[in-house]
Amino acid sequence: MNTNVKQAMTAEEVMEARHSVRKYQPGTAIPRQELNEILRLAATAPSSWNLQHWRFLVVTDAAKKERLLSIAYGQRQVVDSSATIIVLGDLEADKSARPVYDHALEKGYVNEQVRDTMIQQIEGAYRGNPQIARDEAILNGSLAAMQLMLAAKAKGYDTCPMGGFDRDALIRELNIPKRYIPVMMITVGKAAAPAYPTMRFPLEQLVIENSFE
Ligand SMILES: Cc1cc2nc3c(=O)[nH]c(=O)nc-3n(C[C@H](O)[C@H](O)[C@H](O)COP(=O)(O)O)c2cc1C
């Protein structure tokens, strides 16, 4: 019997096993192909109108990661992890409406009338409404971020989502164009120490049946 064969984790096992790891084995690279597969899986997330608001700014360069240390208020995981990924949200996702719905038309998923209606709807929602653009970028970017963490865990890597960084300094350091808003940093790597345990509220505290009183 081959005892080296590793069983894939179920979706439930991945969700239960994912925790925020803050200590990584320094100098451990993720093979690019594996990282790309994690990013591809992250991008299977759903999104409003299928506009796919997420972009992944992948920082693996040691010197660049070192520059992120002060931006992330000294959180060491940005340096020791194999990659620090900045999930960006597209503030101009309405620009993706045409390519997405032209593709759908070409494939026969929608007819011309539906394509035109969808594009009009999207352009109408975004026009002169920066709050919608920002909400949508963060909302949809976060869905991809979650999937990224689960995909990484399924492939034997740990992650930590991070909101603790200086956004303006990050934008300056990595020349992030105005079109994109940093949603979250995610460190990815091989754990050097387990995550510390965290509690979850019981369902009785979380679930409201049908409506509030
Ligand atoms: C949006 C967001 C921002 C976070 N920011 C940080 C951070 O800056 N530094 C950090 O160490 N953990 C950060 N965390 C991780 C949380 O502390 C962690 O998810 C929570 O305590 C639950 O623990 P678990 O992820 O291990 O289950 C963040 C999590 C989220 C979702």
pLDDT per residue over 125-165, tens digit each?
999 999 999 999 999 999 999 999 999 999 999 999 999 99
The CA distance from 213 to 17, in Å, is 36
Q: Is the CB of 19 under 6 A from ligand 1?
A: yes
Return the C-alpha torsion angle 169, 171, 175, 178, nearest 10.
-140
How far is C-alpha 116 from the geometric centre of its chain's CA atoms? 30
Q: Where are the domains of the chain?
A: 18-92+133-193
Q: Is the CB of 164 under 6 A from ligand 1?
A: yes
**Mean model confidence pLDDT for the chain:** 97
Contact 117, 160 (CB under 8 A): no
Residue 3 in this model has a pLDDT that exceeds 80: no
Pairing of strands 158-162, 54-59: unpaired
Model confidence over 180-207: pLDDT tens digits? 999 999 999 999 999 999 999 999 999 9
Q: What is the pLDDT of residue 213?
A: 86
Q: Which of 80, 86, 148, 162 to mutate to test the pocket of ligand 1 (most atoms within 8 A of CB)?
A: 162
Which of the four pLDDT bands, split at 50, 70 and 90, describes residue 2?
low
Q: What is the pLDDT of residue 184?
A: 98
Residue 26 in this model has a pLDDT that exceeds 80: yes
Distances (CA, A) of 152 to 9, 83, 147, 148, 167: 12, 11, 8, 6, 25
Q: Which of 15, 19, 20 to mutate to test the pocket of ligand 1 (most atoms within 8 A of CB)?
A: 20
Q: What is the pLDDT of residue 1?
A: 54
Average pLDDT, integer, range 20-42: 97
Residue 4 in this model has a pLDDT that exceeds 70: no
Residue nearest to atom 5 of ligand 1 (CA): 162
Model confidence over 15-24: pLDDT tens digits? 999 999 999 9
* pTM exceeds 0.75, yes or no: yes
- Residue 159 Cα to ligand 1 midpoint, Å, equals 10
Average pLDDT, integer, range 41-62: 98
Which of the four pLDDT bands, split at 50, 70 and 90, describes residue 6?
confident
Full strand arrangement of the beta sheet holding 158-162: 54-59, 83-90, 180-189, 158-162
The CATH number of 18-92+133-193 is which of 3.30.465.10, 3.40.109.10, 3.40.50.920, 3.90.1200.10?
3.40.109.10
Which of the four pLDDT bands, split at 50, 70 and 90, describes residue 97?
very high
